Protein backbone atom coordinates (compact mmCIF):
# COMPACT_ATOMS: atom_id res chain seq x y z
CA UNK A 1 0.00 0.00 0.00
CA UNK A 2 1.37 3.36 -1.05
CA UNK A 3 -0.05 6.84 -0.53
CA UNK A 4 -0.50 9.49 -3.19
CA UNK A 5 -0.87 13.27 -2.96
CA UNK A 6 -4.32 14.74 -3.59
CA UNK A 7 -2.61 17.42 -5.67
CA UNK A 8 -0.13 15.36 -7.70
CA UNK A 9 -0.75 11.72 -8.60
CA UNK A 10 2.95 11.34 -9.42
CA UNK A 11 3.92 12.06 -5.79
CA UNK A 12 3.77 8.58 -4.24
CA UNK A 13 5.17 7.64 -0.82
CA UNK A 14 5.22 4.67 1.53
CA UNK A 15 3.23 4.84 4.76
CA UNK A 16 6.30 5.63 6.85
CA UNK A 17 7.39 8.39 4.43
CA UNK A 18 3.91 9.92 4.52
CA UNK A 19 3.79 9.81 8.32
CA UNK A 20 7.18 11.53 8.55
CA UNK A 21 6.39 14.23 6.02
CA UNK A 22 2.85 14.96 7.22
CA UNK A 23 1.88 17.26 4.37
CA UNK A 24 2.56 16.52 0.70
CA UNK A 25 4.19 19.01 -1.66
CA UNK A 26 2.08 21.96 -2.81
CA UNK A 27 -0.02 21.53 0.40
CA UNK A 28 -1.52 18.26 -0.85
CA UNK A 29 -2.72 15.55 1.51
CA UNK A 30 -1.69 11.91 1.32
CA UNK A 31 -4.43 9.38 0.62
CA UNK A 32 -4.20 5.59 0.18
CA UNK A 33 -4.00 4.49 -3.45
CA UNK A 34 -7.00 2.28 -2.67
CA UNK A 35 -9.10 1.87 0.48
CA UNK A 36 -8.40 -1.77 1.44
CA UNK A 37 -11.07 -4.30 2.41
CA UNK A 38 -10.93 -5.94 5.83
CA UNK A 39 -9.38 -9.40 5.65
CA UNK A 40 -10.87 -10.76 8.90
CA UNK A 41 -14.53 -11.43 9.62
CA UNK A 42 -16.74 -9.29 11.83
CA UNK A 43 -17.31 -12.40 13.92
CA UNK A 44 -13.57 -12.70 14.56
CA UNK A 45 -13.22 -8.96 15.21
CA UNK A 46 -16.07 -9.09 17.75
CA UNK A 47 -13.97 -11.36 19.97
CA UNK A 48 -10.87 -9.14 19.84
CA UNK A 49 -9.51 -6.47 22.17
CA UNK A 50 -9.31 -2.89 20.94
CA UNK A 51 -5.57 -3.34 20.37
CA UNK A 52 -6.09 -6.37 18.13
CA UNK A 53 -8.84 -4.69 16.11
CA UNK A 54 -6.56 -1.67 15.65
CA UNK A 55 -3.80 -3.95 14.38
CA UNK A 56 -6.05 -5.63 11.80
CA UNK A 57 -7.14 -2.22 10.48
CA UNK A 58 -3.77 -0.46 10.46
CA UNK A 59 -1.77 -3.35 8.98
CA UNK A 60 -3.74 -2.93 5.73
CA UNK A 61 -2.52 0.68 5.37
CA UNK A 62 0.88 0.72 7.08
CA UNK A 63 2.27 -2.15 5.03
CA UNK A 64 5.93 -1.16 5.33
CA UNK A 65 5.76 -1.75 9.11
CA UNK A 66 6.51 -5.25 10.35
CA UNK A 67 3.93 -6.92 12.59
CA UNK A 68 6.33 -6.54 15.52
CA UNK A 69 6.80 -2.80 14.84
CA UNK A 70 3.10 -2.09 14.42
CA UNK A 71 2.02 -4.09 17.46
CA UNK A 72 4.69 -2.31 19.52
CA UNK A 73 3.29 1.07 18.45
CA UNK A 74 -0.29 -0.01 19.21
CA UNK A 75 0.49 -1.57 22.59
CA UNK A 76 2.59 1.46 23.60
CA UNK A 77 -0.32 3.77 22.76
CA UNK A 78 -3.36 1.96 24.12
CA UNK A 79 -2.22 1.11 27.62
CA UNK A 80 -2.73 2.40 31.17
CA UNK A 81 -2.92 5.99 29.82
CA UNK A 82 -6.56 5.13 29.18
CA UNK A 83 -8.86 4.91 32.18
CA UNK A 84 -11.01 2.07 30.78
CA UNK A 85 -9.75 -1.34 29.76
CA UNK A 86 -11.84 -1.40 26.56
CA UNK A 87 -10.26 1.93 25.44
CA UNK A 88 -13.43 3.12 23.64
CA UNK A 89 -16.58 2.05 25.55
CA UNK A 90 -20.03 2.06 23.94
CA UNK A 91 -22.81 3.47 26.13
CA UNK A 92 -26.44 2.79 25.20
CA UNK A 93 -28.54 5.84 26.02
CA UNK A 94 -31.76 7.38 24.69
CA UNK A 95 -32.06 5.14 21.59
CA UNK A 96 -28.45 5.69 20.48
CA UNK A 97 -24.98 4.34 21.25
CA UNK A 98 -22.42 6.85 22.46
CA UNK A 99 -18.90 5.79 21.47
CA UNK A 100 -16.85 7.33 24.29
CA UNK A 101 -13.58 8.39 22.69
CA UNK A 102 -12.40 10.48 25.64
CA UNK A 103 -10.82 8.05 28.08
CA UNK A 104 -7.21 8.89 27.19
CA UNK A 105 -4.67 11.18 28.81
CA UNK A 106 -6.28 14.46 27.69
CA UNK A 107 -9.97 13.37 27.78
CA UNK A 108 -10.72 14.03 24.11
CA UNK A 109 -10.96 11.84 21.01
CA UNK A 110 -7.66 13.19 19.70
CA UNK A 111 -5.93 10.85 22.19
CA UNK A 112 -7.12 7.88 20.14
CA UNK A 113 -4.72 8.82 17.35
CA UNK A 114 -2.20 11.11 19.02
CA UNK A 115 -1.19 8.51 21.58
CA UNK A 116 0.09 6.31 18.75
CA UNK A 117 1.45 8.96 16.35
CA UNK A 118 4.78 9.55 18.19
CA UNK A 119 5.50 5.82 18.11
CA UNK A 120 4.60 5.59 14.42
CA UNK A 121 6.77 8.62 13.72
CA UNK A 122 9.86 7.42 15.58
CA UNK A 123 9.56 3.99 13.92
CA UNK A 124 9.18 5.72 10.54
CA UNK A 125 12.28 7.85 11.17
CA UNK A 126 14.36 4.73 11.89
CA UNK A 127 13.01 3.03 8.75
CA UNK A 128 14.01 5.96 6.58
CA UNK A 129 17.41 6.60 8.20
CA UNK A 130 16.39 10.10 9.28
CA UNK A 131 19.11 11.84 11.28
CA UNK A 132 17.37 15.21 11.76
CA UNK A 133 15.24 15.88 14.82
CA UNK A 134 11.54 16.03 13.92
CA UNK A 135 9.74 19.30 14.67
CA UNK A 136 5.99 18.84 15.04
CA UNK A 137 4.06 21.95 13.97
CA UNK A 138 0.43 21.90 15.03
CA UNK A 139 -2.52 24.28 14.93
CA UNK A 140 -5.32 23.45 17.33
CA UNK A 141 -8.90 24.51 17.89
CA UNK A 142 -8.60 23.12 21.40
CA UNK A 143 -8.05 19.37 21.69
CA UNK A 144 -5.34 18.40 19.19
CA UNK A 145 -2.86 20.69 20.93
CA UNK A 146 -2.85 19.05 24.34
CA UNK A 147 -3.16 15.54 22.93
CA UNK A 148 -0.13 16.17 20.68
CA UNK A 149 1.82 17.74 23.55
CA UNK A 150 1.04 14.74 25.77
CA UNK A 151 2.17 12.37 23.04
CA UNK A 152 5.43 14.11 22.12
CA UNK A 153 6.58 15.68 25.42
CA UNK A 154 10.13 14.50 26.17
CA UNK A 155 10.16 12.07 23.22
CA UNK A 156 13.81 11.94 22.17
CA UNK A 157 14.54 13.28 18.70
CA UNK A 158 11.42 15.47 18.55
CA UNK A 159 10.28 18.99 19.32
CA UNK A 160 6.70 20.25 19.21
CA UNK A 161 5.23 23.74 18.71
CA UNK A 162 1.47 24.20 19.19
CA UNK A 163 -0.46 27.29 18.06
CA UNK A 164 -3.95 27.97 19.38
CA UNK A 165 -6.39 30.91 18.99
CA UNK A 166 -5.92 33.11 22.06
CA UNK A 167 -9.37 33.43 23.68
CA UNK A 168 -10.82 30.82 21.30
CA UNK A 169 -10.59 27.70 23.49
CA UNK A 170 -12.14 26.79 26.84
CA UNK A 171 -10.22 27.69 30.01
CA UNK A 172 -9.74 24.01 30.80
CA UNK A 173 -8.34 23.40 27.30
CA UNK A 174 -5.99 26.36 27.64
CA UNK A 175 -4.76 25.28 31.08
CA UNK A 176 -4.11 21.79 29.78
CA UNK A 177 -1.81 23.24 27.13
CA UNK A 178 -0.01 26.05 28.96
CA UNK A 179 0.87 23.85 31.96
CA UNK A 180 2.55 21.24 29.75
CA UNK A 181 5.97 20.07 30.91
CA UNK A 182 8.79 19.00 28.60
CA UNK A 183 11.90 20.80 27.37
CA UNK A 184 10.94 20.01 23.78
CA UNK A 185 7.53 21.74 23.95
CA UNK A 186 6.34 25.25 23.09
CA UNK A 187 2.76 26.56 23.22
CA UNK A 188 1.80 29.86 21.57
CA UNK A 189 -1.52 31.72 21.62
CA UNK A 190 -2.04 33.65 18.38
CA UNK A 191 -4.07 36.81 17.87
CA UNK A 192 -6.33 35.13 15.35
CA UNK A 193 -8.71 32.20 14.86
CA UNK A 194 -8.04 28.52 14.19
CA UNK A 195 -8.24 28.83 10.42
CA UNK A 196 -5.51 31.50 10.51
CA UNK A 197 -3.37 29.29 12.75
CA UNK A 198 -3.85 26.31 10.42
CA UNK A 199 -3.07 28.40 7.34
CA UNK A 200 0.09 29.73 9.04
CA UNK A 201 1.28 26.19 9.77
CA UNK A 202 0.60 25.08 6.17
CA UNK A 203 2.60 28.06 4.88
CA UNK A 204 5.62 27.01 6.94
CA UNK A 205 5.39 23.48 5.55
CA UNK A 206 5.27 24.88 2.01
CA UNK A 207 8.13 27.42 2.50
CA UNK A 208 11.12 25.77 0.83
CA UNK A 209 13.56 28.46 2.03
CA UNK A 210 12.45 27.99 5.65
CA UNK A 211 12.63 24.21 5.34
CA UNK A 212 16.16 24.45 3.93
CA UNK A 213 17.16 26.79 6.76
CA UNK A 214 15.91 24.53 9.54
CA UNK A 215 17.40 21.52 7.73
CA UNK A 216 20.84 23.10 8.15
CA UNK A 217 20.04 23.42 11.86
CA UNK A 218 19.38 19.65 12.04
CA UNK A 219 15.58 19.71 11.96
CA UNK A 220 12.70 18.79 9.66
CA UNK A 221 9.01 19.63 9.96
CA UNK A 222 6.19 17.15 10.39
CA UNK A 223 2.54 17.48 11.38
CA UNK A 224 0.40 16.07 14.17
CA UNK A 225 -2.81 17.55 12.76
CA UNK A 226 -5.40 15.24 11.24
CA UNK A 227 -3.87 16.00 7.84
CA UNK A 228 -1.20 13.40 8.79
CA UNK A 229 -2.13 9.86 7.73
CA UNK A 230 -0.61 8.70 11.03
CA UNK A 231 -3.53 10.55 12.66
CA UNK A 232 -6.27 9.60 10.22
CA UNK A 233 -5.80 5.84 9.89
CA UNK A 234 -5.82 5.03 13.65
CA UNK A 235 -9.22 6.75 13.83
CA UNK A 236 -10.67 4.22 11.39
CA UNK A 237 -10.08 1.49 13.98
CA UNK A 238 -12.65 2.70 16.50
CA UNK A 239 -15.50 2.63 14.00
CA UNK A 240 -14.62 -0.95 13.08
CA UNK A 241 -14.39 -1.75 16.80
CA UNK A 242 -17.76 -0.15 17.61
CA UNK A 243 -19.56 -2.23 14.97
CA UNK A 244 -17.86 -5.42 16.18
CA UNK A 245 -18.87 -4.62 19.79
CA UNK A 246 -22.51 -4.05 18.80
CA UNK A 247 -22.46 -7.51 17.23
CA UNK A 248 -20.76 -9.07 20.25
CA UNK A 249 -23.27 -7.44 22.63
CA UNK A 250 -26.22 -8.74 20.62
CA UNK A 251 -27.41 -5.20 19.81
CA UNK A 252 -27.27 -5.97 16.08
CA UNK A 253 -26.74 -9.04 13.91
CA UNK A 254 -23.68 -9.32 11.70
CA UNK A 255 -24.51 -7.56 8.44
CA UNK A 256 -27.12 -5.20 9.89
CA UNK A 257 -26.67 -1.60 8.79
CA UNK A 258 -25.90 1.16 11.30
CA UNK A 259 -25.64 4.94 10.98
CA UNK A 260 -22.76 6.97 12.40
CA UNK A 261 -23.16 10.55 13.63
CA UNK A 262 -20.03 12.67 14.13
CA UNK A 263 -19.61 16.25 15.44
CA UNK A 264 -17.45 17.66 12.68
CA UNK A 265 -14.93 20.46 12.30
CA UNK A 266 -11.83 19.54 10.32
CA UNK A 267 -13.59 16.50 8.78
CA UNK A 268 -10.98 13.91 9.79
CA UNK A 269 -13.14 12.02 12.29
CA UNK A 270 -16.09 11.52 9.94
CA UNK A 271 -13.73 10.75 7.04
CA UNK A 272 -12.34 7.88 9.16
CA UNK A 273 -15.91 6.52 9.44
CA UNK A 274 -16.22 6.79 5.64
CA UNK A 275 -13.02 4.78 5.27
CA UNK A 276 -14.43 2.15 7.67
CA UNK A 277 -17.57 1.93 5.54
CA UNK A 278 -15.49 1.43 2.40
CA UNK A 279 -13.44 -1.26 4.15
CA UNK A 280 -16.62 -3.31 4.53
CA UNK A 281 -18.29 -2.12 7.75
CA UNK A 282 -22.06 -1.97 7.08
CA UNK A 283 -22.58 1.77 7.63
CA UNK A 284 -25.57 3.35 5.89
CA UNK A 285 -25.60 7.09 6.60
CA UNK A 286 -22.73 9.26 7.80
CA UNK A 287 -24.43 12.10 9.68
CA UNK A 288 -22.22 15.19 9.66
CA UNK A 289 -23.09 17.45 12.61
CA UNK A 290 -22.03 21.10 12.55
CA UNK A 291 -22.34 23.92 15.06
CA UNK A 292 -23.21 27.49 14.05
CA UNK A 293 -20.07 27.55 11.86
CA UNK A 294 -22.10 25.46 9.45
CA UNK A 295 -19.89 25.56 6.37
CA UNK A 296 -20.13 21.75 5.97
CA UNK A 297 -23.92 21.71 6.35
CA UNK A 298 -24.17 24.29 3.57
CA UNK A 299 -21.73 22.31 1.43
CA UNK A 300 -23.72 19.07 1.63
CA UNK A 301 -26.91 21.00 0.97
CA UNK A 302 -25.69 23.01 -2.05
CA UNK A 303 -22.43 21.55 -3.37
CA UNK A 304 -20.79 24.93 -2.72
CA UNK A 305 -18.04 25.22 -0.13
CA UNK A 306 -17.92 28.86 0.98
CA UNK A 307 -15.84 30.08 3.90
CA UNK A 308 -16.78 33.72 3.30
CA UNK A 309 -18.93 34.19 6.37
CA UNK A 310 -18.80 35.39 9.94
CA UNK A 311 -16.61 33.22 12.17
CA UNK A 312 -18.65 32.31 15.28
CA UNK A 313 -17.03 31.50 18.63
CA UNK A 314 -19.21 28.80 20.18
CA UNK A 315 -19.24 26.55 23.24
CA UNK A 316 -18.07 23.69 20.98
CA UNK A 317 -14.75 25.36 20.04
CA UNK A 318 -13.09 22.30 18.50
CA UNK A 319 -15.63 22.68 15.70
CA UNK A 320 -15.15 26.42 15.22
CA UNK A 321 -13.60 25.91 11.79
CA UNK A 322 -14.37 27.36 8.37
CA UNK A 323 -11.68 25.49 6.39
CA UNK A 324 -12.21 21.75 6.88
CA UNK A 325 -8.86 20.47 5.67
CA UNK A 326 -9.70 16.77 5.50
CA UNK A 327 -12.65 17.40 3.21
CA UNK A 328 -10.04 17.65 0.44
CA UNK A 329 -9.48 13.90 0.73
CA UNK A 330 -13.18 13.27 0.06
CA UNK A 331 -13.23 15.82 -2.78
CA UNK A 332 -10.27 14.02 -4.38
CA UNK A 333 -12.21 10.74 -4.25
CA UNK A 334 -15.39 12.33 -5.62
CA UNK A 335 -13.37 13.80 -8.49
CA UNK A 336 -12.36 10.27 -9.48
CA UNK A 337 -8.90 10.82 -7.96
CA UNK A 338 -8.32 13.57 -10.54
CA UNK A 339 -5.51 15.59 -8.93
CA UNK A 340 -5.80 18.39 -11.51
CA UNK A 341 -9.51 18.89 -10.76
CA UNK A 342 -8.78 18.85 -7.03
CA UNK A 343 -6.03 21.47 -7.44
CA UNK A 344 -8.42 23.66 -9.43
CA UNK A 345 -10.99 23.53 -6.59
CA UNK A 346 -8.43 24.11 -3.84
CA UNK A 347 -6.99 27.07 -5.77
CA UNK A 348 -10.51 28.51 -5.98
CA UNK A 349 -10.78 28.14 -2.20
CA UNK A 350 -7.42 29.85 -1.65
CA UNK A 351 -8.17 32.71 -4.05
CA UNK A 352 -11.87 33.41 -3.55
CA UNK A 353 -12.71 31.49 -0.38
CA UNK A 354 -15.15 29.17 -2.15
CA UNK A 355 -15.53 26.41 -4.71
CA UNK A 356 -18.39 24.46 -6.28
CA UNK A 357 -18.29 20.78 -7.15
CA UNK A 358 -19.95 19.28 -10.23
CA UNK A 359 -23.31 17.47 -10.19
CA UNK A 360 -21.47 14.22 -10.89
CA UNK A 361 -19.27 14.75 -7.81
CA UNK A 362 -22.32 15.65 -5.70
CA UNK A 363 -23.93 12.33 -6.64
CA UNK A 364 -21.06 10.58 -4.87
CA UNK A 365 -21.92 12.25 -1.56
CA UNK A 366 -25.17 10.36 -1.00
CA UNK A 367 -23.63 8.55 1.98
CA UNK A 368 -23.55 11.86 3.88
CA UNK A 369 -26.28 13.83 5.60
CA UNK A 370 -25.53 17.26 7.04
CA UNK A 371 -27.30 19.38 9.62
CA UNK A 372 -26.37 21.81 12.39
CA UNK A 373 -27.25 22.79 15.95
CA UNK A 374 -27.47 26.32 17.30
CA UNK A 375 -25.93 27.25 20.64
CA UNK A 376 -29.41 27.26 22.20
CA UNK A 377 -30.21 23.81 20.78
CA UNK A 378 -26.88 22.41 21.97
CA UNK A 379 -27.48 23.56 25.55
CA UNK A 380 -31.06 22.28 25.45
CA UNK A 381 -29.83 18.85 24.30
CA UNK A 382 -27.40 18.59 27.24
CA UNK A 383 -30.12 19.48 29.74
CA UNK A 384 -32.82 17.26 28.26
CA UNK A 385 -30.55 14.21 28.08
CA UNK A 386 -29.39 14.74 31.67
CA UNK A 387 -32.94 15.26 32.96
CA UNK A 388 -34.16 12.18 31.10
CA UNK A 389 -31.30 9.74 31.76
CA UNK A 390 -28.71 11.25 34.14
CA UNK A 391 -26.07 10.89 31.41
CA UNK A 392 -23.98 14.05 30.90
CA UNK A 393 -22.38 14.83 27.55
CA UNK A 394 -20.07 17.62 26.44
CA UNK A 395 -20.99 20.41 24.03
CA UNK A 396 -19.53 18.74 20.91
CA UNK A 397 -21.31 15.45 21.57
CA UNK A 398 -24.48 17.47 22.21
CA UNK A 399 -24.20 19.01 18.73
CA UNK A 400 -24.11 15.47 17.33
CA UNK A 401 -27.04 14.26 19.49
CA UNK A 402 -29.13 17.27 18.49
CA UNK A 403 -28.41 16.71 14.79
CA UNK A 404 -29.12 12.98 15.16
CA UNK A 405 -32.53 13.77 16.71
CA UNK A 406 -33.26 16.17 13.83
CA UNK A 407 -32.24 13.49 11.31
CA UNK A 408 -34.63 10.93 12.80
CA UNK A 409 -37.45 13.48 12.91
CA UNK A 410 -36.91 14.60 9.30
CA UNK A 411 -36.31 11.17 7.74
CA UNK A 412 -38.07 8.68 9.99
CA UNK A 413 -34.93 6.53 9.79
CA UNK A 414 -34.57 4.66 13.09
CA UNK A 415 -31.51 2.62 12.05
CA UNK A 416 -29.36 1.98 15.12
CA UNK A 417 -26.81 4.79 15.36
CA UNK A 418 -23.38 5.25 16.89
CA UNK A 419 -22.72 8.83 18.02
CA UNK A 420 -19.05 9.75 18.31
CA UNK A 421 -18.69 11.22 21.81
CA UNK A 422 -15.58 13.26 21.24
CA UNK A 423 -14.79 14.89 24.59
CA UNK A 424 -15.42 14.47 28.28
CA UNK A 425 -17.92 16.91 29.77
CA UNK A 426 -15.15 17.80 32.26
CA UNK A 427 -13.31 19.52 29.42
CA UNK A 428 -16.16 22.02 29.00
CA UNK A 429 -17.57 22.17 32.51
CA UNK A 430 -18.75 25.78 32.37
CA UNK A 431 -20.83 25.38 29.22
CA UNK A 432 -22.13 21.95 30.28
CA UNK A 433 -23.13 22.97 33.81
CA UNK A 434 -24.70 26.25 32.66
CA UNK A 435 -26.79 24.24 30.22
CA UNK A 436 -28.03 22.02 33.05
CA UNK A 437 -28.87 24.95 35.37
CA UNK A 438 -28.21 28.68 35.03
CA UNK A 439 -27.40 28.86 38.75
CA UNK A 440 -23.92 27.55 37.86
CA UNK A 441 -23.10 30.58 35.67
CA UNK A 442 -21.19 32.37 38.43
CA UNK A 443 -19.38 29.36 39.88
CA UNK A 444 -15.60 28.90 39.80
CA UNK A 445 -14.26 26.52 37.10
CA UNK A 446 -13.01 23.90 39.54
CA UNK A 447 -16.06 24.11 41.80
CA UNK A 448 -17.99 23.23 38.66
CA UNK A 449 -15.71 20.22 38.16
CA UNK A 450 -16.61 18.93 41.63
CA UNK A 451 -20.31 19.53 41.06
CA UNK A 452 -20.25 17.79 37.66
CA UNK A 453 -18.61 14.77 39.26
CA UNK A 454 -21.37 14.68 41.87
CA UNK A 455 -24.25 15.19 39.42
CA UNK A 456 -23.03 12.65 36.89
CA UNK A 457 -21.73 10.21 39.49
CA UNK A 458 -18.44 10.14 37.54
CA UNK A 459 -14.93 10.32 38.94
CA UNK A 460 -12.93 13.44 38.07
CA UNK A 461 -10.42 12.45 35.34
CA UNK A 462 -6.68 12.62 36.06
CA UNK A 463 -6.31 15.15 33.23
CA UNK A 464 -8.34 17.63 35.29
CA UNK A 465 -6.77 16.77 38.64
CA UNK A 466 -3.31 17.42 37.16
CA UNK A 467 -4.02 21.01 36.08
CA UNK A 468 -5.86 22.10 39.20
CA UNK A 469 -2.75 23.49 40.88
CA UNK A 470 -0.23 23.23 38.04
CA UNK A 471 2.17 26.07 37.23
CA UNK A 472 1.75 27.97 33.96
CA UNK A 473 4.85 27.17 31.92
CA UNK A 474 3.91 28.71 28.56
CA UNK A 475 2.73 32.31 28.33
CA UNK A 476 3.79 32.95 24.72
CA UNK A 477 1.65 35.10 22.42
CA UNK A 478 2.22 36.23 18.83
CA UNK A 479 0.47 37.69 15.80
CA UNK A 480 -0.41 35.49 12.84
CA UNK A 481 2.55 37.05 10.99
CA UNK A 482 4.84 36.18 13.92
CA UNK A 483 4.31 32.41 13.81
CA UNK A 484 7.47 31.64 11.82
CA UNK A 485 9.61 33.72 14.18
CA UNK A 486 8.07 31.87 17.16
CA UNK A 487 9.19 28.57 15.64
CA UNK A 488 12.70 29.58 14.56
CA UNK A 489 13.51 31.31 17.86
CA UNK A 490 12.47 28.14 19.73
CA UNK A 491 14.72 25.99 17.52
CA UNK A 492 17.66 28.35 18.01
Beta-strand relationship, 96-100 and 90-93: antiparallel
Closest CA to 419 of 48, 87, 95: 95
C-beta of residue 136 within 8 angstroms of C-beta of residue 152: yes
φ, ψ at 158 (rounded to 5°): -135, 155
For residue 31, the Cα-to-chain-centroid distance in whole angstroms is: 16
Give the SS3 label for residue 4. Answer: strand
- 285 is known as an active-site residue: no
3-class DSSP state for residue 134?
A: strand
Give the C-alpha separation, 61 to 307, whole Å.
Answer: 32
Spatial distance between the Cα atoms of 149 and 129, rounded to a whole number of angstroms: 25
Classify the C-alpha dihedral 159-164-169-170 as positive or negative: positive
Inter-residue contact 233 to 61 (CB < 8 Å): yes
Give CA–CA dist 20/22, Å, rounded: 6
Reduced to 3 states, what is the DSSP secondary structure of residue 45? helix
Question: What is the helix, strand, coil percentage profile of the chain, to 5?
Answer: 50, 15, 35
Residue 370, CA distances (Å) to 38, 300, 305, 472 in order: 27, 6, 13, 40
Catalytic residue among 21, 59, 110, 186: 110
Q: 452 with 301: CB under 8 angstroms?
A: no
Strand 283-290, strand 368-372: pairing: parallel
Quick count: other Cβ atoms within 10 Å of Cβ 109? 32
DSSP 372-417: E--HHHHHHHHHHHHHHHS----HHHHHHHHHHHHHHHHH-----E
The residues carrying an active-site annotation are 110
Amino acid sequence: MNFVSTRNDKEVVTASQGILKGLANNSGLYVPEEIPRLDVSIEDLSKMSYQDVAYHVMKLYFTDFTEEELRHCINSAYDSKFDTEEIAPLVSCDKAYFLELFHGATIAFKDMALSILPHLMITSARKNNVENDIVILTATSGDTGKAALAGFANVEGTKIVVFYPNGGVSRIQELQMITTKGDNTKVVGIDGNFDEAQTGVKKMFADSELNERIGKMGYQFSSANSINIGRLIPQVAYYVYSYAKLVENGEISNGDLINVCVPTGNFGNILAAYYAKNMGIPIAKLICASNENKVLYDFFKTGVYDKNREFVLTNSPSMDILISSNLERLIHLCAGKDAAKNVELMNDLAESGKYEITDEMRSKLDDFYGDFATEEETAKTIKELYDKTGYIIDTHTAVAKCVYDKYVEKTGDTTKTVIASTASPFKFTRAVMSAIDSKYDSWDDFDLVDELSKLGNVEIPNAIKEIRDANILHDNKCSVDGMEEAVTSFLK
